[in-house]
Amino acid sequence: MADDKTTDSSAQGDANDANARVQALIKYVKIKEKPVELTGEIKVPCIKPNSFIDVKPQLLTAIEPLQRLGYPIGGLVPNWKEVFLKKMDEILKKYRSVKLFLDICVRCGACTDKCHYFIGTADPNNMPVARAELMRKVYRRYFTWQGKLLGSKFVNGSDLSEELLAMWYTYFYQCSECRRCAVFCPSGIDTAEITMAAREILNSVGLVQKYMHEIIDKAQNIGNNLGMQQNAIVNALEFVQDELQETTEIPDIRIPIDEEGADVLFVTPSADFFASPHIESLYGYAKVFHQAGISWTMSTHASEGGNFGMFVHNYGNMKKINKRIWEAARDLKVKRVIGGECGHMWRVLSSYSNTMFGPFDWLDSRYPRPQHICEFTLDLLNRGALKIDKTANDEFVVTMHDSCQVARGLEMGGTKYGQFEIPRGVIRGVCNRFEDMPENTIKERTFCCGAGQGLLGDDMIATRVKGAIPRMQAYSYAKREKGVNFVALICAICKAQLSKMFPTYGIAMEEVGGIHQLVGRAIVLGAKEGI
């Protein structure tokens, strides 16, 4: 018995040591980064090894959210190596794409200079191939017969260690899962999938990032990312409705809530309820529905369109959040579902909903898939169903930032390249002056805003400032060469990030806004033409 106790306590001591070592290695340090000069050029930097190794997000340590999400409490679990390999094995078996991506990289280097975080930080660990290599080394060591038999040095693998865990926690949280690297990879390797899998493995051993998981917890358990209770949502939307009625002087323009039998269930990020500039798009949506004469409703149960569950490989989280939308659609007996301006919301709604909860054969057969608000608005514009005064936007020369989760998601409107052309069609339909940014920074080759997929927290400000560089340079080029002075977006995270980065880089925050902000300005209310 005495021997057993000694073994137990020494094993416990090792576990405590491992946890302490890892906590020290990933300790959050507030790091400030300066913006660069805007020249309009996107340059591939000379590498600076480990230049961003100290930038890590804060850990979630609060017990209740960790328990609700089903993750360990107290940091690194004692048997972490076993848990790590079990979770990785599960992922490799369940998501064949991850295994394939680990197997087929030919080290061609085509992706090395394509990531905004590498361009911004010059840290070679932010090259997509190097980021994925962190997982490939473990894969080769533990999941190939050569690695199992001969050990890590014969397969250029890595044994599991606290140092390796810290590298994972650092660099898989310097990836916004934007998938730009995948566009240029001749093998079609999607590093975002590898990042999602890595984050899920980190969660399983007890290293859970704070910002993203606090939001997932609120969305699952309260119903929206901001943690607003139902009465607060009703109050916020009533306030928006009052403002609308007062500013438009139209007493019957509404933001309907929980109205059974409406034609449309409209879902949007909760940031649209009051954040700036997001709320301007909410005014725009309401004006479009009002003018089209289509009955619509928002839902207190599905009060969040955004779905942070997509940012890790645990589809359970994503499903739980998405489920509220389908429950609301059934309960309110709507005929169709339309989504507002949000990048990852659109990707989940358009790409994953059907697999998770479909087929939606109980919806109007003309709209079996959720629609994007831009699809809906462009159709009305094309049919002449909205009276528009484009001169209302004449103070702007508008450009568009393609949000990655839309641009590299499924096509919009069932048409090839619809995700590029439909939003641009709406902008052109309500503005006289539109200019694109340089070709290598838009559409399928768009650069992330620098804060996607769980990196929008203040703890990641250094990464945000550096990751925004390609977009800021492209915008400044368009500003200088084409007189652009407004960037229109359809992603809530991009709006939040760019409206912070613009002033950081010396550009007015007011130059950022939603596409439906422009629609809302140009629409002539009360005129019923051609419906």
Q: How many Å apart are CA 119 and CA 338, to the nearest integer? A: 36
Query: Which of residues 113 and 263 has its CB atom nearest to ligand SF4 in the complex?
Result: 113
Does 176 bind ligand SF4 (CB under 6 A)? Our answer is: yes
Does 175 bind ligand SF4 (CB under 6 A)? Our answer is: yes
Least distance from C-beta 147 to ligand SF4, angstroms? 19
Among residues 136, 137, 180, 336, the one that binds ligand SF4 under rule CB under 6 A: 180
Among residues 405, 419, 473, 499, the one that binds ligand SF4 under rule CB under 6 A: 405
3-state secondary structure of 174: coil
Among residues 178, 244, 363, 388, the one that binds ligand SF4 under rule CB under 6 A: 178
Using alpha carbons, select from 519, 111, 15, 95 the residue that is nearest to residue 289.
Answer: 519
Conformational region of residue 62, where left means phi above 0, alpha means psi within -120 to 50, and beta covers everything else = beta
Query: Which of residues 317 and 441 has its CB atom nearest to ligand SF4 in the complex?
Result: 441
Among residues 329, 465, 493, 522, the one that binds ligand SF4 under rule CB under 6 A: 493
Query: Which of residues 22 and 135 has its CB atom nearest to ligand SF4 in the complex?
Result: 135
Does 437 bind ligand SF4 (CB under 6 A)? Our answer is: no
Among residues 237, 404, 437, 523, the one that binds ligand SF4 under rule CB under 6 A: 404
Query: Which of residues 49 and 109 has its CB atom nearest to ligand SF4 in the complex?
Result: 109
Q: How many Å apart are CA 308 and CA 18, to the nearest integer? A: 30
Q: Count residues binding ligand SF4 (CB under 6 A).
A: 39
Does 185 bind ligand SF4 (CB under 6 A)? Our answer is: yes
Q: CA 221, 499, 218: angle at the middle one, nearest 5?
A: 5
Pick the stretch among 153-161, 177-185, 382-390, 501-509 that binds ligand SF4 (CB under 6 A): 177-185
Within a 10 A sphere around the Cβ of 375, how many other Cβ atoms? 23
The token pair at 196 is 């999602």
Does 491 bind ligand SF4 (CB under 6 A)? Our answer is: yes
Does 343 bind ligand SF4 (CB under 6 A)? Our answer is: yes
Pick the stretch among 209-217, 251-259, 302-310, 447-455 that binds ligand SF4 (CB under 6 A): 447-455
Query: Which of residues 194 and 337 has its CB atom nearest to ligand SF4 in the complex?
Result: 194
Least distance from C-beta 383 to ligand SF4, angstroms? 29
Query: Which of residues 110 and 525 has its CB atom nearest to ligand SF4 in the complex?
Result: 110
Least distance from C-beta 421 to ligand SF4, angstroms? 18
The alpha carbon dihedral of 191, 192, 197, 198 has a sign of: positive
Which positions from 53 through 82 interact with ligand SF4, judged by CB under 6 A? Answer: none
Query: Which of residues 80 and 101 has its CB atom nearest to ligand SF4 in the complex?
Result: 101
Prior bond to 359 cis, omega within 30? yes
Among residues 87, 131, 141, 433, the one that binds ligand SF4 under rule CB under 6 A: 131
Pick the stretch among 32-40, 69-77, 403-411, 505-513 that binds ligand SF4 (CB under 6 A): 403-411
Q: How many Å apart are CA 384 and CA 30, to the nearest integer? A: 53
Least distance from C-beta 271 to ligand SF4, angstroms? 12
- Do β-strands 486-489 and 371-372 pair in parallel, antiparallel, or remain unpaired? unpaired
3-state secondary structure of 389: coil
Q: CA 240, 244, 250: angle at the middle one, nearest 5?
A: 145
Does 403 bind ligand SF4 (CB under 6 A)? Our answer is: yes
Residue nearest to ligand SF4 (CB): 452
Q: How many Å apart are CA 266 and CA 483, to the nearest integer? A: 35
Least distance from C-beta 32 to ligand SF4, angstroms? 21
Least distance from C-beta 129 to ligand SF4, angstroms? 4
Q: Tell me the C-alpha to C-alpha distance, in Å, between residue 365 and each of 333, 350, 376.
A: 14, 16, 16
Q: How many Å apart are CA 350 and CA 363, to the nearest integer? A: 15
Among residues 88, 102, 134, 189, the one that binds ligand SF4 under rule CB under 6 A: 189
Q: Which residue has the tokens 């650069």?
A: 447
Contact between 112 and 190 (Cβ < 8 Å): no
Contact between 344 and 452 (Cβ < 8 Å): yes
Q: Which residue has the tokens 């390797």?
A: 189
Q: What is the secondary structure of 288-356 as a DSSP string?
A: HHHHHT--EEB-STT-----GGGGSS-HHHHHHHHHHHHHHHHHTT-SEEEE-S-HHHHHIIIIIHHHH
Which positions from 91 through 130 interact with ligand SF4, judged by CB under 6 A? Answer: 105-111, 114-115, 117, 128-129
- Enumerate binding residues for ligand SF4 (CB under 6 A): 105-111, 114-115, 117, 128-129, 131, 175-181, 185, 187, 189, 191-192, 195, 343-344, 403-405, 448-449, 451-453, 491, 493-494
